[in-house]
């Protein structure tokens, strides 16, 4: 039985993981490898331009909008499905236990035949007790599922900030690699490697402290210094309590052009990215000429072109979008593990570990095994 229940738990954990949105820190049009495996499996995949469009559309409909609101909306769109997944897990365990209970009853009454009255009475008592225990456990799981959806909260602020900072740093590393590709090849090229929880933060089972690059050149340890997203303040009253309007994404220009529809918003973002690519190439050419001139007259200890580019070129306009992505991934890392542990712990405690004693007590009470004439009654049941 233990193996079958474990399989149900594993399937539940996988379902919770699949429910999470997978973020890609580049434009959808630059994903040259067709639909990803996640999209084919029905998993929600969101690219930079998808999130940009969502924010701009929401600003048009709701007016002022903050990163906090966007993050919590995305998180709740994921966690709202978890109560159903918990119910499916409970039903899976119920089926395993139902088969076990029936096999035990069959074992005890194997010589009496299927139509034996006492066997049918015991089976009915056991089934009724299992049903009651499942109903009680289900109510507790439903309460926790609703609690998880209503609240975007964790007290693990240090872990949350470190994880979000690491993920954001990694997203930006990939975009810097894209900038490097612009300079080398004269075209914007993005890595096809999917970015999700296991690819972004390759954590051991005990921590979320390490970032493993999945694309681009090798990076030194210093390049992964945690950049703490501004939306995390460490206050327990509100997880994303810095309620600052989204400046570079949801601008008044977005609101004015929202009537153009989703296609117009995407085209504007694509155009911004192309303009930034042109700026990178032009700035790099100017830097190379200047550095060459300085070196020719003896100045050799100079900043790298990459460092100078960061100073000369405007910041990437999608940085705020990357920050939202990192925040959501980091929070769902914590929330999904918490939810899976809580659900499976309660099923173990209230159902798996309790059902045997509950059925025994119910059989003793319903058959009045300690009452008068028990032997006579048992013989009558067995003979029926």
The tens digit of pLDDT for each residue in 314-363 reads 777 788 899 999 999 999 999 999 999 999 999 999 999 999 999 999 99
pLDDT band at 190 (very low <50, low <70, confident <90, very high): very low
pLDDT band at 230 (very low <50, low <70, confident <90, very high): very low
Distance CA 330, CA 327 (A): 5
pLDDT of amino acid 384: 63
Which domain range does residue 112 map to?
1-263+319-384
Domain assignment present for 255? yes
Tokens, residue 89: 């897990």
265 and 257 Cβ atoms separated by less than 8 Å: yes
3-class secondary structure, 210: coil
What phi and psi values does residue 45 have, to the nearest 5 degrees?
A: -120, 135
Q: Which of 198, 213, 168, 120 is nearest to 316 (CA)?
A: 168
**Mean pLDDT, the chain, integer:** 76
Whole-number percent of the chain with pLDDT over 70: 65
pLDDT band at 282 (very low <50, low <70, confident <90, very high): confident
Domain assignment present for 307? no
- The stretch 191-206 carries a mean pLDDT of 37
- How many structural domains comprise the chain? 1
pLDDT higher than threshold 70 for residue 186 = no
pLDDT higher than threshold 70 for residue 210 = no
Q: pLDDT of 93-152, one tens digit each?
A: 999 999 999 999 999 888 766 668 888 999 999 999 999 999 999 999 999 999 999 999
Strands 22-24 and 45-47: parallel
What phi and psi values does residue 44 have, to the nearest 5 degrees?
A: -75, 125
pLDDT band at 166 (very low <50, low <70, confident <90, very high): very high
- Residue 278, judged by CB atoms within 10 A of its CB (0-12, 13-18, 19+), counts as exposed
3-class secondary structure, 297: coil
Sign of CA dihedral 55, 56, 58, 63: positive
Longest dimension (CA), the chain: 114
Residue of 85 and 384 predicted with greater confidence: 85
pLDDT higher than threshold 60 for residue 40 = no
Domain assignment present for 32? yes
Domain assignment present for 141? yes
Domain assignment present for 347? yes
- The stretch 227-241 carries a mean pLDDT of 43
pLDDT of amino acid 342: 98
Domain assignment present for 288? no
pLDDT of amino acid 243: 55
Domain assignment present for 21? yes
- Residue 342, judged by CB atoms within 10 A of its CB (0-12, 13-18, 19+), counts as middle
pLDDT of amino acid 118: 85
pLDDT of amino acid 14: 97
Outline where DSSP puts E strands in the chain: 22-24, 45-47
Tokens, residue 312: 């000369």
pLDDT of amino acid 322: 95
Domain assignment present for 278? no
pLDDT of amino acid 99: 97
pLDDT higher than threshold 90 for residue 262 = no
Q: Which of 346, 378, 325 is nearest to 70 (CA)?
A: 325
């Amino acid at each position: 039985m233990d193996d079958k229940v474990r399989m149900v738990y594993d399937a539940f954990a996988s379902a919770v993981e699949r429910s999470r949105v997978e973020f890609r820190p580049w434009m959808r049009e630059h994903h040259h490898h067709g639909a990803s495996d996640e999209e084919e499996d029905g998993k929600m995949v969101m690219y930079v331009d998808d999130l940009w469009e969502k924010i701009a559309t929401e600003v048009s409909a709701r007016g002022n909008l903050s990163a906090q609101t966007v993050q919590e909306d995305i998180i709740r769109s994921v966690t709202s499905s978890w109560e159903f997944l918990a119910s499916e897990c409970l039903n899976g365990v119920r089926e395993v236990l139902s088969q076990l209970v029936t096999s035990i009853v069959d074992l005890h009454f194997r010589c009496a035949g299927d139509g034996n009255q006492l066997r049918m009475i015991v089976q009915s008592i056991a089934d009724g007790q299992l049903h009651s225990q499942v109903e009680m456990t289900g109510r507790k799981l439903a309460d926790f599922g609703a609690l998880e959806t209503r609240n975007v909260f964790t007290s693990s602020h240090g872990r949350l900030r470190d994880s979000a900072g690491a993920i954001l740093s990694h997203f930006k590393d990939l975009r810097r690699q894209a900038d490097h590709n612009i300079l080398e090849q004269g075209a914007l090229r993005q890595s096809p490697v999917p970015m999700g929880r296991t690819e972004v933060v390759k954590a051991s089972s005990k921590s979320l402290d390490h970032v493993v690059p999945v694309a681009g050149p090798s990076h030194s340890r210093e390049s992964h210094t945690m950049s703490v997203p501004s939306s995390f303040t460490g206050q327990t009253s509100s997880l994303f309590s810095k309620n600052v309007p989204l400046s570079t994404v949801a601008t008044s220009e977005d609101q004015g052009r929202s009537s153009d529809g989703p296609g117009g918003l995407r085209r504007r973002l694509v155009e911004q990215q192309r303009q930034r690519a042109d700026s990178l190439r032009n700035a790099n050419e100017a830097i190379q000429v200047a550095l060459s001139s300085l070196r020719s007259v003896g100045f050799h200890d100079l900043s790298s072109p990459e460092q100078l580019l960061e100073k000369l070129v405007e910041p990437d306009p999608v940085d705020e979008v990357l920050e939202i992505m990192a925040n959501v991934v980091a929070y769902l890392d914590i929330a999904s593990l918490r939810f899976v542990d809580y659900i499976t712990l309660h099923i173990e405690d209230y159902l798996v570990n309790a059902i045997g004693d509950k059925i025994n007590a119910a059989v003793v009470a319903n058959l009045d095994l300690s009452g008068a004439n028990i032997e006579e009654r048992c013989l009558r049941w067995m003979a029926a």
